[in-house]
Structure 1
Amino acid sequence: MLKRRIFTTALAGAMALSVFGLGTLAMAQEMTKVTFVQPSPSAINSFNVFVAIGEGYFAEEGLDVSVEAINGSGAVLQALASGQAQFGRPGPGPVLAARGRGEDFVFIYNFSAKSNFGVVVPADSPVQSPEDLRGKVVGTGTADGAEVGFARNVMSGSGMTDGADYTFLTVGDGGPATAAFSSGEIDAYSASVADAAILNQRGVSVREITPPEFSRFFGNGFVTSGALIRDNPELVEKFVRAIHKGHVFALDEANRAAVLAHLAAGNPQESEDAAFAAALFDAVKEKTIPVDLSNGYGYQPPEVWEEWQATLIAGGDLTGPLPDLTAAYTNEFALKVNGSTN
């Protein structure tokens, strides 16, 4: 049974129905219940989902969405595989590794268009590059999350192999990661934008040593099962249309106050320090803006999927190329909601 924190669109849906004059019992009964799982409790990291809830975009599509927070990309994929959720936000590395084991997961929307991970070290550390971590310990938030695959890629780029040239240590995030640095258990940490911000806020000043070429490796995005795409593509399109609307709304500076209010409603604890939450939102938001916007938001560059596969093979997460890499992702829904005919 998943340990979970649940948010629902019930209030937002009721508000949207009232605004649009559709608040009838019959309409409410037609809502399709959908569960979305995210790899941490952060509303900011899934900001387009919470904006779509708050602005009523899911309700407009006839969707009643529950959000469950679980621990890491591996757990997200397990929830999808077991049928406990229809959509999730894992990293591309864990998705490819799962497909290598014969599991049918498909990326449908590229949310973190630029890498939202980086290998960080304390500001006063003598470590200047991944090579300097030879023989040292790299901390991670989870044992099988997207941050692990990202760090492994970075380290393999310097010719190092996990277990032989360096070791991973799962220490958790937030407070536990701060403690691990303070105690000297870890020399570096594979951190998301949020992790780095929290470390700095808690008195562990960190700097990034990730080589710039790794920024092209997009991070966590929206995923569903191949079976759902085949059996109910309309549902997938509705979900993608709503999160795309939430994404676009959130990127408009004119909507900033409303966005921050939706995020605070989604996770009040995360927004207790309003200034920190706003700064974190800005950092996360920037990572979701593609360098090339010609195909709109959510588009997945096929060439980067090729690079992801190559680095996973080099790191040992895949034994060889997948039979059909293109089956791991689809741009159909993102292009459609962006109004493209490509």
Structure 2
Amino acid sequence: MKQIDRRTFLGAGASLAAWSMLPGLGMAQQGSSLRQVRLGVGLKAMSPIVINLVIGEILGYNAAEGFTLNTLALGTNANVQVAVDRGEVDFGVGVPSFGLPVLAQGDWKLARNFYQYTYPYKWDIAVLPDSPVQSYADLKGLRIGVSDFGATDYPVTRNVLRLQGLDPDGDLQWIAVGNGVPAGVALRRQAVDALAYFDTGFGQIEAAGLPFRLLPRPDNLPLVGGQFLQTRVSTLDSHPQWAVGLGRSVSKASTFILENPRAGALAFLRMYPETAPRGASQDAAVEAVLQAISRRIKLYRPPYPDVSMGYIEVSEFRTEAEMTGLQIADYAPFYTNDLIGQIDDYDHEAIRTQARNYT
């Protein structure tokens, strides 16, 4: 796969032009005393995949930190990176598969990851229930569907299949099939032989009643593919409390969801009612969100002992760099754990009580 360098990131900026001209972008609301914060996510439309990033708005966590959040779906992770670097958003979702190649080329200078909000590993490969494919090795010569070539399921799955002895370019054909239910439909109609996708995406397909079977994960599956909050280094230097505030809101929201997933789903739907299946009752809509997030919420807690939620383990970056043949001597410009202690400084039991009592 061609590495994504700074020039590629800047090229992605052209697709941001229409978004950046939206009226009122980044402007404070009239009469509001809360600071307006823009968060960029690499989605084409809002989805439960980012539930723990957004429900702090309706649960009061953002207001407690002095801000209100405007979440912007920018289409791809590359677009998010461009927007963060240019200061067109205040914060963005960072993914190593797009950032590490830039770091390896010495061009990573403007942004830094400061909170890990989802830990590895979240991807799988699915086939139809009656497919003869039984393992990753059986995929040789087949058509693999991914949601989008700008999404993380594409580069991560390529790297994992490379570890299984397959040539991602010579042994496989890759097809972009869209997000959510359309991806499941592509598999069902056999437009692809297998679907490489992430946990919440499979949950949406499952909720739509489309059958599939997940292939067994290989034993040597690497701990890679975490997702992070990032911002410009200049923001961390001048206003670290802004990053602490967003990180604390996300940590509280994650704690809330872990305590009562149904309450988290209900809060999400109150913020984004348009994401509910058309014609669904409230209970049915909540169940659909629960199915979508059931696999993901297990990844909110770090798989490392004695660390707080949000802690970044540098070995994930090293492993992913080795998988892709990147030579990186210093990871310090890419991340920081300096704010984790402050982010984690809140009454966890009060949040869990709120979740239990939420109606």
Q: TM-score range by the shorter chain?
A: 0.7 to 0.9
Deviation at 1:222, TM superposition (A): 1.6
Deviation at 1:193, TM superposition (A): 1.0
Deviation at 1:290, TM superposition (A): 2.2
Q: In structure 2, how many angstroms separate the alpha carbons of the residues matched to 1:91 and 1:208?
A: 25
Corresponding residue number in structure 1 for 2:295: 283
Q: In structure 2, how many angstroms separate the alpha carbons of the residues matched to 1:328 and 1:222?
A: 12
Q: In structure 1, how many angstroms separate the alpha carbons of the residues matched to 2:233 and 2:135?
A: 39
Corresponding residue number in structure 2 for 1:335: 341
Q: Is the 8 A contact 2:108 2:333 kept in 1?
A: no
Match runs of 1:118-133 below 5 Å: 118-133=124-139
CA-to-aligned-CA distance 1:224-259 (integer Å, 9 cap, x gap): 233322333222222212222222222223xx4542
Determine what percentage of the aligned residue pairs are the same residue. 18
SS in 2 for 1:160: coil
Corresponding residue number in structure 1 for 2:77: 73
Q: In structure 1, how many angstroms separate the alpha carbons of the residues matched to 2:235 and 2:62?
A: 18
Match runs of 1:71-110 below 5 Å: 71-101=75-105, 102-104=107-109, 105-110=111-116
Match of 1:263 among 255, 259, 268: 268
Matched, 1:252 2:264: no
Match runs of 1:319-334 below 5 Å: 320-334=326-340
Match of 2:236 among 219, 229, 232: 229
Corresponding residue number in structure 2 for 1:147: 153
Matched, 1:53 2:65: no
Deviation at 1:212, TM superposition (A): 4.4
What amino acid maps onto 1:71 in structure 2?
Answer: G
CA-to-aligned-CA distance 1:32-64 (integer Å, 9 cap, x gap): 221011222344222222221112111111112
Deviation at 1:123, TM superposition (A): 2.2
What amino acid maps onto 1:148 in structure 2?
Answer: Y
CA-to-aligned-CA distance 1:189-219 (integer Å, 9 cap, x gap): 2211122122333423231343244262243
Deviation at 1:74, TM superposition (A): 2.0
SS in 2 for 1:221: strand
Corresponding residue number in structure 2 for 1:9: none
CA-to-aligned-CA distance 1:78-114 (integer Å, 9 cap, x gap): 2223322121224221121233351333221111113
Corresponding residue number in structure 2 for 1:304: 316
What amino acid maps onto 1:297 in structure 2?
Answer: M
Corresponding residue number in structure 2 for 1:10: none
Q: In structure 2, how many angstroms separate the alpha carbons of the residues matched to 1:110 and 1:185?
A: 35
Name which of structure 1's ranges 204-213 and 152-161 shifts more when overlaid on structure 2. 204-213
Deviation at 1:339, TM superposition (A): 4.6
Q: In structure 1, how many angstroms separate the alpha carbons of the residues matched to 2:80 and 2:51?
A: 17
Instruction: Label 1:212 to 1:231 Cα distance change in 2 as closer, same or farther (>3 A).
Output: farther
Q: Is the 8 A contact 1:122 1:204 kept in 2?
A: yes
Q: Is the 8 A contact 2:203 2:293 kept in 1?
A: no
Instruction: Label 1:278 to 1:183 Cα distance change in 2 as closer, same or farther (>3 A).
Output: closer
SS in 1 for 2:117: coil
SS in 1 for 2:113: strand
TM-score, normalised to structure 2, is: 0.78
Match of 1:36 among 19, 39, 55: 39
Q: Is the 8 A contact 1:32 1:63 kept in 2?
A: yes
Instruction: Label 1:293 to 1:261 Cα distance change in 2 as closer, same or farther (>3 A).
Output: farther
Q: In structure 2, how many angstroms separate the alpha carbons of the residues matched to 1:297 and 1:252?
A: 14
SS in 1 for 2:70: strand
Name which of structure 1's ranges 82-91 and 95-104 shifts more when overlaid on structure 2. 95-104
Instruction: Label 1:59 to 1:293 Cα distance change in 2 as closer, same or farther (>3 A).
Output: farther
Deviation at 1:151, TM superposition (A): 0.3
Corresponding residue number in structure 1 for 2:248: 241
The runs of at least 4 aligned residues of structure 1 exceeding 4 Å deviation read none
Deviation at 1:3, TM superposition (A): 5.4
SS in 1 for 2:159: helix
Aligned length: 314
- Unpaired stretches in structure 1, ≥5 consecutive residues: 7-13, 15-24, 314-319
Q: In structure 2, how many angstroms separate the alpha carbons of the residues matched to 1:160 and 1:257?
A: 40
Q: Is the 8 A contact 2:200 2:294 kept in 1?
A: no
Q: In structure 1, how many angstroms separate the alpha carbons of the residues matched to 2:123 and 2:262?
A: 27
TM-score, normalised to structure 1, is: 0.82
SS in 1 for 2:118: coil
